[in-house]
Structure 1
Amino acid sequence: MTTIPSGVLPVIATPFTEDGTIDEASLRSQIEFAITHGAHGVVLGMVSEVLRLSGAERARLADLTCDAVAGRVSVTTSVGAESTHTAVRLAGQAAGSGADAVMAIPPMATACDDEQLFGYFSALVESIEIPVVVQDASGYLGRPLSIDLQARLYDAYGNQVLFKPEAQPIGPRLSALLAATHGKAKVYEGTGGLALVDSHRRGITGTMPGPDIVWALVRLWRALEDADWDTVNRLQGPISSLVSLQNSLDSFVAVQKHLLVRQGVIRSATARGPVGYVLDKETAGEVDRLFDVLAAAGHPC
């Protein structure tokens, strides 16, 4: 039976040692942190710096993650690549590692039309038996995927294809995709939780935020599921304030690693360079202040 990941699915940061190799102990610590605080699954995605890893490292990261999770929650791994051949190979490796789903951005260096993109995503779906999350990562890079393309993929493959729309405007495009698939598509929120409340009301299956405040996102998700609006209103503001400081791929990486180090989850905030964003002292201070506000509003400890 196909597993469709749902709920709070944090995108794991790839921790590195000071010499730039994957810190396997910190990776396991982070996965335990996410599961202990109620995550329903974990994800390897863009914020995991997968595009800065070699092919062998991406396969190793998937192996390590599936091994650490040990079937307790779902695992979704990123397999997007510049060629269909490489993406299919990565998808096969992820499925062999025990992943429950894969996620793929489209090629970035090629201005693919809808027919080429349909062929790319179709090849992924047909190469494995687990679902493929179609990630419209145009909030970070590239061009938005058309609603027509996504609806065509759903019509062809049903819930073997899942969706993570990140193109602006988030809410209206999410609703347009659901309308185009008669409300049946499984869709994830992908703005770090910034649009979670609005997206939940529109009908999402899950959210893929960062791992650093997973405890807050799990509590917010549960409150939304229970229509506990007092808790929603208490948490939404501090979460939004903190996430709004993260407006690029590298800023998500920097802030999330900073907060994971602060909480003793990983040992170093090192990212692989070159990077387009450096967390300066003043911004780090504001991140810490907003984290304290959020912790006062809803930290379980």
Structure 2
Amino acid sequence: MTKNIRGIIPPVVTIFNADGKVDEAGYRNLVEFLTEKVHGLFVCGTYGAGPAMTLEERKRVTEIAIDQVKGRIPVIVHVGAACPEDTLDLALHAKNAGAVAVASVAPFYYKYKQADIIRFFNELISKVDIPVFLYNNPKTTGLEIEIETLKELKKLGLAGIKDSTFDLSYFYRVKTEVGLDDFVYVSGTEAFIIPTIPLGASAAICGLANAFPEIVVELYEAAINKEYEKAFELQERVNALRQVQHLTDSILGIHIMLKFRGINSGYPKKPLALPGNDVEERIKAALKNLDVKL
């Protein structure tokens, strides 16, 4: 089943209405927009506000995405939570809803030891009969996942890793010490499509691909086809677009860019709030300078 996990996989932004409720129509529209352009979807992750939603909201968002996709591309569901029992509940729900895989951060808030993390994932792997990925995001969890921990979890059946360390040396260590023959490495950023994809990464979960999936997919295809001159040029353009996105909070930047593309992006999850018109104008001007067609 992990062979289908490849290419560009946006971490889909969850759309809320002004009252803070999930906007099902808006979310379906975004999922449809992306499904026609990318290789898979990652839902309820950081961009998807997963850890900030109730269990009921997370389950409903998962159901909406899988229903809208209707099997056309793989849907991976992030199920990580502070409470391990909640993670298992979400994982079993995702499996029953039709997800091809689940991913989880280690339980956060407490400073768990590596042995605790191994116990947590071993139980999750043993109780969920679809592939389980470790979502390595030390910036949000405060937990480092050591390479020896990955080695042990691979033996226990861990399918792969979504790596959001933003550390290329960590990728190189996974490649050489854990191995990629039967372990799926997924980069957590569009900034590292070059060099991770040419060197064995299977996919990239890219926030920018919410708003500009076409160019990120074009970069991926150039990389796997070894069209390196084209790929280097596209990587620089993707990096420039990423800088524009980060003229504000990264999630808010996606909401604004989607709006410019004519996609109803609604509101972010409270307490986040959309920035003022001055930020929108700065982003619009930066996109114009890059000659981006909206």
TM-score by length of 1: 0.89
Moved more, 283-292 or 133-142: 283-292
SS of the aligned residue for 2:59 comes to: helix
The one-letter code sitting in structure 2 at the alignment partner of 1:142 is G
Q: After superposition, give the CA deviation of every residue in 1:2-33 in whole Å (9 maximum; x if it has no partner).
A: 65411111111001111111111111111111
The one-letter code sitting in structure 1 at the alignment partner of 2:119 is G
Give how far 1:140 is off.
3.6
Give how far 1:56 is off.
0.6
In the aligned structure 1, how far is the partner of 2:245 from the partner of 2:155? 35
Instruction: Say whether the 8 Å CA contact 2:105–2:141 is kept in structure 1.
Output: no
Q: Could you say if the C-alpha distance between residues 278 and 154 of structure 1 is closer, same or farther in structure 2, counting changes exceeding 3 Å?
A: same
Q: Could you say if the C-alpha distance between residues 105 and 281 of structure 1 is closer, same or farther in structure 2, counting changes exceeding 3 Å?
A: same
1:284 aligns with 2:283: no
Q: Could you say if the C-alpha distance between residues 202 and 232 of structure 1 is closer, same or farther in structure 2, counting changes exceeding 3 Å?
A: same
Give how far 1:156 is off.
2.1
In the alignment, structure 1 segments of 5+ residues that lack a partner are: none
- Aligned counterpart in structure 2 of residue 180 of structure 1, from 177, 183, 186: 177
Instruction: Say whether the 8 Å CA contact 1:241–1:290 is kept in structure 2.
Output: no
1:113 aligns with 2:110: no
Instruction: Say whether the 8 Å CA contact 2:268–2:274 is kept in structure 1.
Output: no
In the aligned structure 1, how far is the partner of 2:172 from the partner of 2:36? 33
Give how far 1:261 is off.
1.6
Identity over aligned pairs, percent: 21
Moved more, 180-189 or 220-229: 180-189
The one-letter code sitting in structure 2 at the alignment partner of 1:285 is E
SS of the aligned residue for 1:187 comes to: strand
Instruction: Say whether the 8 Å CA contact 1:251–1:278 is kept in structure 2.
Output: no
Q: After superposition, give the CA deviation of every residue in 1:219-261 in whole Å (9 maximum; x if it has no partner).
A: 111111111234323322221122235569x822101111112
In the aligned structure 1, how far is the partner of 2:11 from the partner of 2:92? 20
Q: Could you say if the C-alpha distance between residues 84 and 260 of structure 1 is closer, same or farther in structure 2, counting changes exceeding 3 Å?
A: same
In the aligned structure 2, how far is the partner of 1:216 from the partner of 1:2? 24
Instruction: Say whether the 8 Å CA contact 2:246–2:253 is kept in structure 1.
Output: no
Q: After superposition, give the CA deviation of every residue in 1:45-69 in whole Å (9 maximum; x if it has no partner).
A: 1110112211111011111110000
Give how far 1:195 is off.
1.4
SS of the aligned residue for 1:145 comes to: coil
Residue of structure 2 in register with 1:274 after alignment: 271
Q: Could you say if the C-alpha distance between residues 60 and 49 of structure 1 is closer, same or farther in structure 2, counting changes exceeding 3 Å?
A: same
Q: After superposition, give the CA deviation of every residue in 1:257-288 in whole Å (9 maximum; x if it has no partner).
A: 111122122242x112223x864545433433
SS of the aligned residue for 1:195 comes to: helix
Residue of structure 2 in register with 1:216 after alignment: 215
Residue of structure 2 in register with 1:167 after alignment: 165
SS of the aligned residue for 1:103 comes to: strand
Q: How does 1:38-77 map to 2 (within 5 A)?
A: 39-44=38-43, 45-77=45-77
TM-score by length of 2: 0.91
In the aligned structure 2, how far is the partner of 1:203 from the partner of 1:290? 33
In the aligned structure 2, how far is the partner of 1:190 from the partner of 1:7? 12
Q: Could you say if the C-alpha distance between residues 111 and 50 of structure 1 is closer, same or farther in structure 2, counting changes exceeding 3 Å?
A: same
Residue of structure 2 in register with 1:32 after alignment: 32
Residue of structure 2 in register with 1:9 after alignment: 9
Q: Could you say if the C-alpha distance between residues 278 and 260 of structure 1 is closer, same or farther in structure 2, counting changes exceeding 3 Å?
A: closer
Residue of structure 1 in register with 2:241 after alignment: 242
Q: After superposition, give the CA deviation of every residue in 1:134-160 in whole Å (9 maximum; x if it has no partner).
A: 011113441221111111111221xx4
SS of the aligned residue for 1:48 comes to: coil
The one-letter code sitting in structure 2 at the alignment partner of 1:262 is F
SS of the aligned residue for 1:43 comes to: strand
**Count of matched residue pairs:** 290
Q: Could you say if the C-alpha distance between residues 273 and 212 of structure 1 is closer, same or farther in structure 2, counting changes exceeding 3 Å?
A: same
